[in-house]
Amino acid sequence: MWKSRTTLSEDQINALEAHLAGTLRPVTPPMDVVQRLRERIRFPQPEAIALRLRDWERMFFVFGGVMSGMLVLITVARALYYFFGKRHM
C-alpha cells in the first residue's frame, strides 16, 4: 500500500521518527574504552615520533654532537697511546 505513494503522511513521519528515535539511542562509551583512548592520546604516537625525526634543525645538532663527541674520544685515545703506548714498545 505504501509503495504506490511517493509522499509521506504526517502519521507515517511521526511513526518512522518514533521508531528511529527508539533505535538510534546515544550510547555511553565504556569507561575502560574512554581511559584507553585518553592514554593513547596523551602519549606520543608513532606519527609524532616520525615527525620529530623530520625536524632537521634538531637532527643537525644531534649529528654535530655525536661527531664532536667521537672526535674528543679519538683525541683522548691518541693522547693516551702517545703517552703510555710508546713506553711498552
Partner 1 sequence: MPDIEFNEEDVLTRASEGDRDAFGLLYERYIDRIFNYVYYRTGNLHDAEDLTARVFQRAMNHIQNYTDRGVPFSAWLYRIAHNLVANWHRDRSRRQEIPINDVPVLPSKGDHPERNLVRSQEQDALLRLIRRLPGERQNLLILKFVENMSNAEIGAIMGRSEGAVKSLYHRTLLALRDQLGDQSINLDNE
Which chain residues interact with partner 1 by CB under 8 A? 1-3, 6-8, 12-30, 33-34, 36-38, 40-42, 45, 47-48, 51
Q: What are the cell numbers at 43?
A: 602519549
CB of 77 to partner 1, least distance (A): 43
- 3-state SS, residue 13: helix
Residue with cell 533505535: 23
CB of 14 to partner 1, least distance (A): 7
Estimate to the nearest angstrom the gap between the alpha carbon of 48 and the chain centroid.
5
CB of 40 to partner 1, least distance (A): 5
Q: Which is nearer to partner 1, 29 or 64 (CB)?
A: 29
Task: Of 34, 16, 33, 32, give the one whose Cα is nearest residue 24.
Answer: 16
